[in-house]
Amino acid sequence: MSEFRTVAQFEDVPENALLGVELDGVSIVLANSDGEILALHNECTHEEFPLSDGEIINGQVECLLHGARFDLRTGAAKALPAVRPVKSYECRVEDGTIQVRL
Amino acid sequence: MPKNETVTDLGLDEYKYDFRTEDAPVFKAEKGLSEELVRQISAHKEEPEWMLEFRLKALEIFYSKPMPDWGGNLSTLNLDEIYFYLRPQDEMQRSWDDVPESIKETFERLGIPEAERKILAGVGAQFESEMVYHSLKEEWQEQGIIFESIEDGLKKYPELFREHFATIVPPADNKYAALNSAVWSGGSFVYIPKGVKVDIPLQAYFRVNAEQMGQFERTLIIVEEGAEAQYIEGCTAPVYTTESFHSGVIEIIIKKNARFRYTTIQNWSNNMYNLVTQRAMVHENANMEWVDGNLGSKLTMKYPSCFLVGEGAHGEILSIAYAGDGQHQDTGGKVVHAAPHTTSLIISKSISKGTGRSSYRGLCKVYEGAVGAKSNVECDALLLNETSRTDTYPYIEIDESEASIGHEASVSKVGEEQLFYLESRGLSTEQAMTMVVRGFIEPIAKELPLEYAIELNRLIELQMEGSVG
Amino acid sequence: MADGIMTRPETVGGPELLAERRKAAWEEYQSLPMPTRKSEEWRYTDLSKLNPESFERMEAVDRSSEPVASDDLPGAIREILAGDSARSGTLVELDATIARLELASEAVAAGVVFAPIAQIAEQRPELIENFLFSSDVAPMERKLWALHVAALSGGYVLFVPQGVHVENPVHIIHWLSRSGAMLSTHSLIIVERGAEVTVIDEFMSDDLDGDSLSLNGVEVFGGDGALVNYLALQRFGSGVKHFSMQHANTPRDCTLNSFNISLGADLSRCDVTSHLLGPGSDSEMLALWFGGRDQRFDFHTLQHHAAPNAHSDLLFKGALTDKAESVFRGMIRVDKDAQLTDAYQTNRNLLLSPDSKATTLPSLEIAADDVKCSHGATVGQVDEHQLFYLTSRGLTREQAERLLVFGFFGEVLARMPVDSVRDRMTDAIERKIEIR
């Protein structure tokens, strides 16, 4: 089981914001949904556009390009044209830092 | 029973668009698009806050997206000259005298009943069909079937509506979906409960006619598990309208084991830009059929789609396109296989006459994991004149090795031998051509309800006149 | 680091005809952006990481007067030269150096010209000035074409005069020796009225320890009633990114057939264009590719019917295994006046592994009505029934699959005009199938 690694500071992701980070070459998007930080793979499963360019709506992230939506917690596809879920990563906040486990 | 409103001759220019109602502020319809207009629309419909926000956000998305650089020629479409919202009453104030002669003649030739002619010309209220609608409505209500205008759908079934609305076609999907999402008005809301099988096709023109010619209609259809139904909109007779831009969005959700067919026949007048996004999400073992007839308009861009997301789902698109002089039909279909053992079929038949141009544009996408997916696409184009044009642009993206995908297209003209044979049996060249064309579209025409098929045949006959020589 | 034309265009020397065109190409190259995935033609192939300036380019060197000895040639080339049957002409290019150039005496006597471009540009410019680099290159291909011309590192002119039938194939072997290099070779083939010739351009290298860039341009101009068979065999090792832009022009009654076999390289992109310019012209375009590892194959074809009564028939077949991916984009374009056109296009893809992927976009644009045009594309796996049939007759599943893949390619291999090449390619494919 791999370890939790720090990818950002808690202040870097304010309420309702998205932030794209990289860990070991993997592109990850961090989302602050009602104070909780969640992490997903930063690539829409429709046409590979970065989800970090989109916006958070009601616990989902909406892709800027065609409006596809994914559940922030599970990564499940919630609106077409996405049909495949996006990978979700374990994420926690410790001592003000955001840590993700790949 | 609502009264049959008689249409009086109103001077179109000065009076038409100024209106006063008792409880609402003066509404003055204006050309062009603006945030103000969107707010007015939402206020008029007394929509909840979330819908207003949705519309405003969609407007922003519309402004931010570029015009597509593929498809038909949209350069002469001037959005500043278009009325984006006319209240239903406004739309009715047109005079029969203003309808072009050629349209009136066509009605005559096609044998369209008097009352219907006025509807098609956007000129009157359809009394007879209202009656039919009301009696069917009672029957349906008992079964729990919902068939309302989209505005009433939002008002009466807010949770159901919100759960599904814009999940199939989000505003950001494409520029014209964004536009529709901002200014949508009119359309249908349909809900078929679990296991219910509706044997009479739901017809758009049964509903109160005001919204039927909506330029920016929005339709949401939910078919629950095991249910079955059919929906028909449009008609083969030419629809005359002063408005020249139609951008609709149709979202359909078909749940497990359900079956649904959506039939559209469009014969908009030749000044119309017709851009429509039609999409269905098909769940496990469910079945979806699009039957799409595109006969009119100056330019149509329409690609009914099936997203096959449940195992064993099946999607079919049967498309007929007729492009006469000066027309461009850019149509086709899309299928997305996102689950195992899904199947799809696209059959497209197009006819180009005079300087008409028909283009097939399609997508077949198979995601990895869609094991056992099978898809077949067949597009055939018939060219009737030297000046006619046709194109085929399929996109086939296959990411699953255990899938079987086939695509075939052919282009030809009416064969000399065929004509010779028919003429030697006493048919005139024109009659022979008509027979060949009818035979060409027969595989799809036979899927149409009888009255449409008859009208379609008559229409072809009409179009074939003067096609020779 | 790049040198020469990349940084100092005024230093291009050599014959004026060539230098002029290369300088103009350099200007054009600089003025155009690299195509991105937003354009249709490059939607599936990402050029964003391609940096031509990071490769070392070379100027052509002609050592044909002191040909390199057989022992000094790479083993693979030696084998071909020793083994292949009769040839009417041979050219071996080691990177930018022409190491060997031979033309059969009968051909010489008949007036056939087979020489490096620079040499002809110097000695007989009138022979090529109306042809060299004159092809109608589509807007999205122009950047790479301009680079190819500007960075020219070698190539040849093959000129066959009226009525001359060149008896045996003319075979050109291009060898890329190392990583970090950019090679740009051009084949200019001019075949006059009634003449006949078969040309083979073969591309090879070992597996490289880094990346190299191979640019290739082919222009074939046929005369009335001429017959040309053009074969391109791409068998690079790993590390190579190969871009081949092939343009053929057939006037009245001219037949021009092309065969592309792509087995190697990391990325192989071929643009195969055929302009049917005169009635009675005929073009058969065949291709075959077999991908493994994470190879990418990208084919763009155009059958352009500009004249009536012409015939074209395209058959492109590919099989992919491991993580290989392919794209086929084929267009049949029939102009308004091209009545009685007969044009066909077929693309078949076999996916042999779960991670392989095929994208196919067969397209038609038809503006004439009295035509017969059709296209078909399929993507699928080896037929289960056929597999069962063979395994039930005692073959292992691997053996059965191999046989079926061979059967799949058989259609294309059977139509190759040069027996020895067909045999060699069959061997190469067999070896590739076995390795996986």
* For range C327-334, the mean pLDDT: 95
- Please report the pLDDT score of residue C399 as a whole number: 82
**Hey, is the C-beta of B155 within 8 angstroms of any chain C C-beta?**
no
Q: Is C431 helix (H, G, I), strand (E, B) or coil?
A: helix
For the cut 90, the answer to whether the pLDDT of residue C212 exceeds it is: yes
A67 closest CB neighbour out of B173, B307, B309? B173
Least confident of A81-90, B111-120, C10-19, C293-302: B111-120
Residues ≥6 apart with Cβ < 8 Å to C391: C397, C400
- pLDDT over threshold 90, residue C389: no
Q: For chain B, which chains pass the contact test of at least 3 CB pairs under 8 Å? A: A, C
Chain C interface disruption, residue of B392, B408, B437, most C CBs within 10 A: B392
Q: Please give the pLDDT value at position B28.
A: 58
CA separation, residue C209 to residues C73, C77, C206, C436 (Å) = 20, 20, 9, 21
Give percent of chain B above pLDDT 70: 78
The SS3 of residue B107 is: helix
Cα–chain center distance at A11: 16
Cβ contacts of A101 within 8 Å, gap of 6 or more: A1, A2, A3, A4, A5, A89, A90, A91
In the predicted structure, residue A1 carries a pLDDT above the cut 90: no
| B167: nearest CB among A63, A66, A80 | A80
**Is the pLDDT at A9 greater than 80, yes or no?**
yes
Kindly identify which residue of chain C lies nearest to residue B399, measuring between CA atoms.
C357
Residue that the structure tokens 């044997």 belong to: B199
Q: Which residue has the higher pLDDT, C37 or B204?
A: C37
pLDDT on residue B460: 75
Phi first, then psi, for residue C7 (nearest 5°) are: -120, -20
Give buried/exposed letters for C173-211 (b at 16+ CB in 10 A, else e). Answer: bbbbeebebbbbbbbbbbbbbbbbbbbbbbbbbbebeeb
Burial of B22 (0-12, 13-18, 19+ CB in 10 A): exposed
- Report the mean per-residue pLDDT for chain C: 90
Residues ≥6 apart with Cβ < 8 Å to B395: B362, B363, B364, B365, C359, C361
Chain B residues in contact with A78 by the CB 8 A cut-off are 167
What torsion do the CA atoms of B237, B239, B245, B249 make, to the nearest 10 degrees? -60
Question: How large a percentage of chain B has pLDDT more than 90?
Answer: 46
Among residues B161, B123, B127, B173, the alpha carbon closest in space to that of B45 is found at: B161
Q: CA C395 to CA C84: how far, in whole Å?
A: 33
pLDDT band at B4 (very low <50, low <70, confident <90, very high): very low
Please name the residue of chain C whose CA is at the shortest distance from the CA of residue B396. Answer: C360
Task: Report pLDDT for A79.
Answer: 93
pLDDT over threshold 70, residue B92: no
Helix axes B450-464, B429-445, angle to 10 degrees: 150
Partners of C349 on chain B (C-beta within 8 Å) are: 398
Mean pLDDT of B80-107: 62
CA distance C203 to C401: 28
Average pLDDT over residues C290-304: 95
* CB-based contact A89:A99 (threshold 8 Å): no
Judge contact between B366 and B396, C-beta under 8 A: no
Residue C180 has what pLDDT? 93
The pLDDT value recorded for residue B104 is 67
Mean pLDDT lowest among A45-54, B315-324, B355-364, C33-42: C33-42
Task: List, in order, residues 6 or more apart from B51 with CB less than 8 Å away.
Answer: B42, B154
B201 contact A CB<8A: no
Q: Provide mean pLDDT across the span B100-116.
A: 62
A68–B169 CB contact, under 8 Å: no
Residue pLDDT, tens place only, C31-87: 998 888 777 788 888 887 788 888 988 888 888 888 888 888 898 898 888 876 789
Query: Which chain A residue lies closest to B368 (C-alpha atoms)?
Result: A84
Q: Is the distance from CB of C168 to CB of C104 less than 8 angstroms?
A: yes
- Give the pLDDT of residue B7: 31
Most B CBs within 10 Å: which of A53, A57, A83, as the mutation test of the B interface? A83
pLDDT, tens only, C215-255: 999 999 999 999 999 999 999 999 999 999 999 999 999 99
C371 and B381 in contact by Cβ < 8 A?
no
Residues of C with CB below 8 A from B381's CB? 364, 366
Tell me the average pLDDT across C101-121: 94
Q: Which range among B3-17, B20-34, B379-393, C327-341 shows the weakest confidence by mean pLDDT?
A: B3-17
Q: Is 80 exceeded by the pLDDT of residue B179?
A: yes
Q: Could you give the residue ranges of the DSSP H alpha helices within C70-141? A: 75-83, 105-110, 117-123, 125-128
Enumerate the residues of chain C whose CB falls inside 8 A of the CB of residue B362: none
Residue B389: closest C-alpha in chain C: C367
pLDDT at site B33: 86
Question: pLDDT category, B5, cuts 50, 70, 90?
Answer: very low
pLDDT at position B117 is 61
- pLDDT band per the 50, 70, 90 thresholds, residue B142: confident
Predicted local distance difference test score (pLDDT) of residue B127 = 40
Q: What is the pLDDT of residue B25?
A: 39
Task: Write down the residue that tokens 């759960």 correspond to.
Answer: B163
Q: Is B178 helix (H, G, I), strand (E, B) or coil?
A: helix
Residue A85's pLDDT band (boundaries 50, 70, 90)? very high
Angle at B176 between CA B170 and CA B181, to 5 degrees: 50
How many Å apart are CA B141 and CA B135, to the nearest integer? 10
Helices (H), B216-350: none
| Chain C contact for B354 (CB, 8 A cutoff) | no
Q: A84 vs B338: CB contact, 8 Å cut-off?
A: yes
Q: By CA distance, what is B309's nearest residue in A?
A: A83
Mean pLDDT of B415-426: 80
Note the pLDDT tens digit of each residue in C139-192: 889 999 999 999 999 999 999 999 999 999 999 999 999 999 999 999 999 999
pLDDT-derived band of residue B113, with 50, 70 and 90 as boundaries? Answer: low
* Closest Cβ–Cβ partner in C339, C356, C363 for B401: C356
Quick one: pLDDT at residue C160? 97
What's residue B133's pLDDT?
Answer: 58
Lowest mean pLDDT among B44-58, C122-136, C400-414: C400-414
Q: CA-CA distances (angstroms) from residue C245 to C186, C189, C274, C301?
A: 10, 14, 11, 10
Residues C9-28: what's their mean pLDDT?
A: 81
Instruction: Enumerate the residues of chain C whose CB falls inside 8 A of the CB of residue B395.
Output: 359, 361
Residue B272 and residue B297: Cα distance in Å, rounded?
5
Residue B106 has what pLDDT? 64
Residues of B in contact with A69 (CB under 8 A): 167, 170
Q: DSSP letter string over C62-79?
A: E-TTSPPPGGGS-HHHHH
Q: Which of B28-37, B200-209, B211-220, C211-220 has the highest mean pLDDT?
A: C211-220
A contact set with B (CB within 8 A): 62-69, 78-81, 83-84
Three-state SS string over C397-423 comes to HHHHHHHHHHHHHHHHHHCCCCHHHHH
Query: Which of C347 and C14 is assigned the larger pLDDT?
Result: C347
Q: Residue A68: count other Cβ atoms within 10 Å of its Cβ.
A: 29
Separate counts of helices (H) and strands (E) for chain A? 0, 10
Task: Give SS3 for A11.
Answer: helix
Largest CA distance in chain B: 71
Give B279's contacts in chain A (Cβ within 8 Å).
80
Give A31→chain B minimum CA distance, Å: 20
Cis peptide before A81 (omega within 30 of 0): yes
C429: region left, alpha or beta (phi > 0 left; psi from -120 to 50 alpha) = alpha
- Look at residue B352 and tell me whether its pLDDT is greater than 80: yes
Give me the residue from A68, A83, A84 closest to B170, CB to CB: A68
Residue numbers in C near B412 (CB within 8 A): 371-373
Determine the Cα angle at C237 with ends C302 and C39, to 5°.
Answer: 35
Answer whether B278 touches A (CB < 8 Å): no
Q: Kindly state whether B279 is in contact with chain A, defined as any CB-CB distance less than 8 angstroms.
A: yes
What ipTM goes with this model?
Answer: 0.84
Give the pLDDT confidence of B148-167 residue by residue, as tens digits: 889 989 999 999 999 999 99
> Which are the contacts of C45, defined by CB distance < 8 A and separation ≥ 6?
C37, C267, C269, C296, C298, C327
